[in-house]
Structure formats: C-alpha cells, structure tokens
A = this chain, B = another copy of it.
Amino acid sequence: MATGTSTPAGRWEAAENLVAGLRGGDVRALARAISLVENDAPTASAVLSACFPYTGHALRIGLTGAPGSGKSTLVDRLAAHYRAQQQTVGIVAVDPTSPFTGGAILGDRIRMQGHHADPGLYIRSMATRGFLGGLASTTADIASVVEASGKTRLLIETVGVGQDEVDIVRLADVTVVVLVPGLGDDVQSIKAGILEIADIFAVNKSDREGADRVEREIRAMQSLGGHAEGWVPPVVRTVATTGEGTAALAEAIERGAERLRQAGKLDEKRTAAWQARLVEMIRQKLVRELVRHRLGASDLEAHARAVAAREEDPYLLVEGLVRGLLDLHREDGNG
C-alpha cells in the first residue's frame, strides 16, 4: 500500500540510494542527506546508518572561540592548507547565536564563493536547534554524513562559550580554542572553563597589541595544572586574515592527534564521545516517541496551561507520564 519513504523498507532504500549518491561525489545528494538529518526526518536514522560504515577514519578537529575571534577565517585558512596537502575537507559550522532565525547563515554563501569549484571541500552551517534537539549530537551526526562523502579532515567550528559549544567540541578528536587579544576584562572567566577542553590554543589576530599577554595568561593557567597528563596544549599564534601561522597550527593539530593515537587515547576519547552521544540519542528518541504516540503537542500545551495556572503539579505530572510510558510498575493505571 504505502510507497516511497513511508515504509521502513522504502526509507532504507531511499537512504541507501542517497548515500550511494553522496559517496559517488554528488554534492546535491550530500546536501539533501544533511538536511534530512538536520530536520530529523523519518529517513534520518536510515541515512545515518547507511553512512556509518564509512566513518571513523577522518580526523575531527573542533574549533571554538568567542564571536569576533576570527575563527571562521582561521577555519577557511586551515581548509585551504589541508587542500594544498591533498586532504579532502568538510567544515561544519555551528552558530547557536541566532537561535530564532533558523535557516542558512549568510556567511555560507560568502565563504563558499572562494571554493565554489572545489569538489574536495564541503561547507555546511547549522544555525540552530529546536527545543527537542541535541545540538552536539546532531552536529556530530552531520559531521558523519560529511565524512561518509569521503572527507579526511573534518573541521567543526562553533561560536561561544556555552555548554552546548563545549559539548560540540568534546565530540571532536582534537580541540582548538581560539583566543584574541583585547576581548574585554574578564576573558579569564572563559579561560578557566576552556583550559580543560583545549588541546591547542590559537591566539588569533596576534599582530594586535596584547598577544603576549594572552599567551602569558594561558601559560600561567597551565602551570596550575588541569589538563590531562603529559600533553601541555601548545599556544600557536595566528593572523587568519593574512594566513600567518596556519601551517604551524595544522602541524600542532597533527602532533596532538598523533600523540593521542600513540597513547591509545584516541579510541578512549571516541568511546567517551559515543557514550555521550548514545545518551543524547536515546533521550531524543524517547521524547520524540512519547510526543508522537502518547502525548500530542496540543495535550502538552493544555498541560502547560494548567501548570502555569497552578492547577496541575508539573512534577507529579511528569512522574505519571513517564511511569505510564515506561510501564515500569506493571499496568496499574495509565491511559
């Protein structure tokens, strides 16, 4: 009766066709596969499964830094550097600073122009997540789709200092934290958090006054310890606008990755990342199933209205809903 992607078999077939397309170099198939994953379409899971066997080989490099740190330009420089070395490159840029606007980021088009004709480079921006989403997990999924298209270097770029961004870069193999001189008084408060996630520091715009100070501050914090034993995150100075320091940064990244590999830490890190992703995937799927099968959006709104009016206790409500759903305590009274 049902055809196309409305049956599981149809979804698998569609997904396999799409993945065959993107494996074969079809950029439109790649873009379509990413959109399906980003929009959490019914086919998304099948697309990701079909991509999965082709993943795990690329090096995933996370880059994070405050708005204005010039990180996008730095990422572009790194991409060009890798291309010159015959590596293929995927860039996934996450900008959670425009959560309500949705849609594509203008910058994409601007940035794409320089590389338009290069099939060895693919750039994708994600502007937002929905309230049900898990931004880090979805970003990692999209990186997997890009990797399945045959890219050997994945650059995952994110703005900011929030937990979401930390979660995103945690899923990378090697993390570069981009700092710049003169970004306000208490950059220290950022550094305290990121010191532990940085494998490498890039001091961008290092031709500006204050670069010495930023580097000194990083060194001072490092001397207090905090990072995993053995590896002291190097500080690399860059000027993304001119390209200065790009090669040194790429080299630091390779050394960082190599060290992880030799110490057996890369597998460990990827296992930890997968554990976090599995939890997030389970969470997302559970909520989706719940909303789909047991609780319509309108019911949820009615409950929210009752709670806001203090007519219903939300904690007891959730307890009851979840208990009913999980059927943990026999079937003793749920609708």
Contacts and interface: CB of A to CB of B under 8 A. Distances in A.
A186 B185 CA distance: 17
A307 interface: yes
Given A67-B190, A271-B304, A282 B322 contact: yes
Contact of A276 (B69, B131, B183, B186): B131
A90 B320 CA distance: 31
Given A283-B287, A285-B322, A326-B325, A315 B163 contact: no
B161 A278 contact: no
Interface stretch (A47-55, A78-86, A232-240, A249-257): A47-55
A251 B131 CA distance: 32
A249 B185 CA distance: 23
A322 B45 CA distance: 13
Contacts of A162: 96-97, 159-165
Tell me how many chains of this kind the complex includes.
2
Contacts of A301: 271, 275
A314 B278 contact: yes
A146 B187 CA distance: 30
B290 A286 contact: yes
27 contacts: A45-B319, A46-B315, A49-B313, A67-B187, A68-B183, A95-B189, A96-B166, A97-B162, A97-B190, A97-B193, A100-B196, A131-B167, A161-B161, A162-B165, A164-B164, A271-B305, A271-B308, A272-B304, A274-B308, A282-B290, A283-B284, A285-B319, A286-B322, A289-B326, A290-B326, A293-B328, A325-B326
Nearest 6 interchain pairs by C-beta: A162-B162, A68-B184, A275-B304, A98-B193, A274-B304, A97-B193
